[in-house]
């Protein structure tokens, strides 16, 4: 893991808080600043959003010509809600205990 990834990681850099910044008078988090471990997940989540959630008065995602793709505060909130729902649902799967044990074991090996 490179230093840039480490600073953005949930493990090492999250103590600093999320990398929200004000762009065009709006508080957003650029995709390149989301926690490193979530970057691919956020990207895939954005890719399946319906177009009506990408425009209008309160879009979840915005594209800034010089800065790149960003989640608005509403977008980050929607992503965290989806992630929480997904994790909660996973706990009800029949193989959850086995997967949880194996994942914990793999993380310390």
13 pLDDT higher than 80: no
**What residue spans define the domains of the chain?**
3-108
Strands 26-30 and 61-64: unpaired
CB 45 within 8 A of CB 78: no
Rounded to whole angstroms, the Cα distance separating 61 from 58 reads 9
Mean pLDDT of the chain: 88
CA distances from 12 to 3, 25, 35, 39 (A): 10, 29, 10, 15
pTM for the model stands at 0.82
> What's the confidence (pLDDT) of residue 36?
84
């Amino acid at each position: 893991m490179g230093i840039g990834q480490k600073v953005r990681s949930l493990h090492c850099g999250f103590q600093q808080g999320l990398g929200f910044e004000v762009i065009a008078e709006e508080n957003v988090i650029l995709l390149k600043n989301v926690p490193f471990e979530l970057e691919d997940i956020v990207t895939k989540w954005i890719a399946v959003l319906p177009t009506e959630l990408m425009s209008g008065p309160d879009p979840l995602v915005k594209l800034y010509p010089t800065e790149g793709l960003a989640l608005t505060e509403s977008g980050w909130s929607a992503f965290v809600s989806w992630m929480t729902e997904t994790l909660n649902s996973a706990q009800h799967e029949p193989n959850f205990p086995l997967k949880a044990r194996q994942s914990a074991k793999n993380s310390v090996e």
